Structure 1
């Protein structure tokens, strides 16, 4: 069978044991499973901050091309320096098909090579919760260029019905529904649950809304519960992190809140083994990896009733949907799960069953490979 040269253009971790963010983790998991297809010649192209020159490395039957990332604005570079760099590199590489992710979709949209683009998030929405000046203006600029890019791309992979709903309003593209893959190891974790442990994995910033979880835990502690909220994630907003630390100290919660910082995938697995509940109260998410991983591990999920999260968690079946502005609502759902061993077990089992079909990397790779074949055969 003729080899298919696949250009997988994405954010890819410098350390495969420590991916930074959802796109890096997804790309790592998907490339690993796609490498099982002998007919695929996988070429990962990624931009690396701080790199002085282009470097090549071999990983898991895959070639990784690490290109120096231009300095400056992410948006401006996606439209200019980075776009030119990536486009020219791909023209020299001459792939049979391109699979672009995140901002790389903007960089490849003018190339006349068969391609598909996975929409991981809406940067214009995330920007409203970011640091810096002129957030509203920056959000509007991102919105214009993101939507313009969707309109130019002929094929899009949607990771959630929420993504499909928003993208289809502005794009005539053929849309394929394929969820994000997670590491297979999450499905085989041996549960070592510790009573009262609530785990969350997200960077500490206003969009992720970690402080509301702290406030919900404070309500439980006041009611006499012995609970511990364990927070895994780096700080992306120092002011917000300081506010949260001060709130923890003022309410005498230091022994009930553990800030773990950025941790490895292995550490995340260990935290999930011990957790009784997984929580994520974000204001804006498409299909967060943390929820997928918790479901695969068989853990009930408490998460926001907005954006892509309600498409992942079945309310009252695999967890609870909550109002991300209401700590009393969140505390009530924590209480229900922590108080009922049978409910906790049933929710976890149902979550794992759903995750196996939707998020197992082999299933995601099979569906993704089918898209490649469809585009090349048409």
Structure 2
């Protein structure tokens, strides 16, 4: 079975052109790691577009080939990624894959899927652009307004959508031809992290944005008694203006809270080793990778009871959930973690076991192979 796997090479997204090693989003990379375990069952062709030519290996694994397509600047956002779509189409005509599978709707991958001359054409939804556009009240023709339109078009054109949570499936049920619910895979190396659990350290891993609600989290911690208030570390990209700047400004008078900035995968593992709790107060989230990573590492998790998060953790069994709009609910989760260390340690141990059963790359890759076969059978190919 030959699969065309359309994804973003993050060297292009972050202008990291001198890096000789391709790197993809954490979820697509973990899925590719899983596919590498089945060399006799699947041949993967990873396809990524770039504005500048970079050093690129021909193979990422014995059964995974990599194709880098050079697309002029005009073929990107200003033309709705039409140049990327045409370049991918030309390659697909040569490869003749059995299935075309695009990862995400934020950039060019969804457009390239729509240009595909062969099928079945599948799409995985990672972040809900329509929901984010609603939250920030995106202006007409702004970035999120445009990707909202793109997302709706791609869902309608796809032969099937891989919904990584029941939340996604519910949002797409009326527009998608067919859906499957399969969670993201987690990088297997996170299972090797030995969390020691520093009792007074809470980490929040997310870009500084209105729907991640770091300011509201700081306010909730403000109201905790000073003698029991834990250290809070915000890890993630923060813009120099707007919401990110407001969050950083609040930290100036709060020595118990800090923002070291964005972290790479190894740095995140180091933070997880010493964290006592991962907290995520989002009002919009689908399948946040950091929850899966914390579960795999054995770190207790407290997160919002919204979006796809209830698919990932069971309250009181593998983690704690709270209402992100209610400061007392957030405080209650933190207090329960502080006052019941044996209970939360048991939750973290169960969560690690569940993560191995549900989110390991081999488990998720195997399920994708089943989906590809189902899609081929349905198409009659």
Q: TM (normalized to structure 1)? A: 0.87
Question: 1:304-343 maps to which residues of 2 (within 5 A)?
Answer: 304-343=304-343
Match of 2:139 in 1: 134
1:239 to 236, 239, 242: 242
Match of 2:6 in 1: 9
Match of 2:302 in 1: 302
Distance 1:189 1:144 in 2: 40
Answer whether contact 1:159 1:179 (CA < 8 A) is retained.
Answer: yes
Three-state SS of the structure 1 residue aligned to 2:25 is: helix
Task: State yes or no: 1:108 paired with 2:110.
Answer: no
Distance 2:46 2:335 in 1: 45
Instruction: Assess, with a 3 A threshold, how the Cα gap between structure 1 residues 96 and 74 changes in structure 2: closer, same or farther.
Output: same
Instruction: Assess, with a 3 A threshold, how the Cα gap between structure 1 residues 75 and 135 changes in structure 2: closer, same or farther.
Output: same
1:41 to 43, 47, 68: 43
Task: State yes or no: 1:230 paired with 2:233.
Answer: yes
Task: State yes or no: 1:359 paired with 2:359.
Answer: yes
Question: Post-superposition shift, 1:337?
Answer: 0.5
Answer whether contact 1:109 1:152 (CA < 8 A) is retained.
Answer: yes
Match of 2:287 in 1: 287
1:248 to 233, 244, 251: 251
Three-state SS of the structure 2 residue aligned to 1:194 is: coil
Match of 1:27 in 2: 28
The gaps in structure 2 that reach 5 residues or longer are: 12-18
Match of 1:204 in 2: 208
Three-state SS of the structure 1 residue aligned to 2:67 is: strand
Stretch moving more, 284-293 or 256-265: 256-265
Answer whether contact 1:33 1:362 (CA < 8 A) is retained.
Answer: yes
Question: Post-superposition shift, 1:165?
Answer: 0.8
Answer whether contact 2:139 2:145 (CA < 8 A) is retained.
Answer: no
Question: Post-superposition shift, 1:94?
Answer: 2.4
Three-state SS of the structure 2 residue aligned to 1:190 is: coil
Stretch moving more, 60-69 or 186-195: 60-69
How many residue pairs match? The answer is 365
Match of 1:117 in 2: 123
Distance 1:352 1:69 in 2: 42
Instruction: Assess, with a 3 A threshold, how the Cα gap between structure 1 residues 291 and 16 changes in structure 2: closer, same or farther.
Output: farther
Answer whether contact 1:126 1:284 (CA < 8 A) is retained.
Answer: yes
Answer whether contact 1:198 1:275 (CA < 8 A) is retained.
Answer: yes
Question: Post-superposition shift, 1:107?
Answer: 2.3
The gaps in structure 1 that reach 5 residues or longer are: none
Three-state SS of the structure 2 residue aligned to 1:238 is: coil
Question: Post-superposition shift, 1:147?
Answer: 2.3
Distance 2:147 2:355 in 1: 32
Question: Post-superposition shift, 1:74?
Answer: 6.6
Answer whether contact 1:125 1:139 (CA < 8 A) is retained.
Answer: no
Listed one character per residue, the Cα deviations across residues 49-81 of structure 1 (whole Å, up to 9, x for unaligned) are x41589554323332222345547976544623
Distance 1:52 1:273 in 2: 38
Instruction: Assess, with a 3 A threshold, how the Cα gap between structure 1 residues 283 and 18 changes in structure 2: closer, same or farther.
Output: farther
Answer whether contact 1:17 1:264 (CA < 8 A) is retained.
Answer: no
Distance 2:318 2:39 in 1: 37
Match of 2:93 in 1: 91
Question: Post-superposition shift, 1:28?
Answer: 0.9
Answer whether contact 2:238 2:245 (CA < 8 A) is retained.
Answer: no
Q: TM (normalized to structure 2)? A: 0.86
Stretch moving more, 344-353 or 175-184: 344-353
Listed one character per residue, the Cα deviations across residues 129-165 of structure 1 (whole Å, up to 9, x for unaligned) are 569x726876555444422322221122110000111
Question: Post-superposition shift, 1:354?
Answer: 2.2
Answer whether contact 1:54 1:68 (CA < 8 A) is retained.
Answer: no
Task: State yes or no: 1:347 paired with 2:347.
Answer: yes
Instruction: Assess, with a 3 A threshold, how the Cα gap between structure 1 residues 80 and 54 changes in structure 2: closer, same or farther.
Output: farther
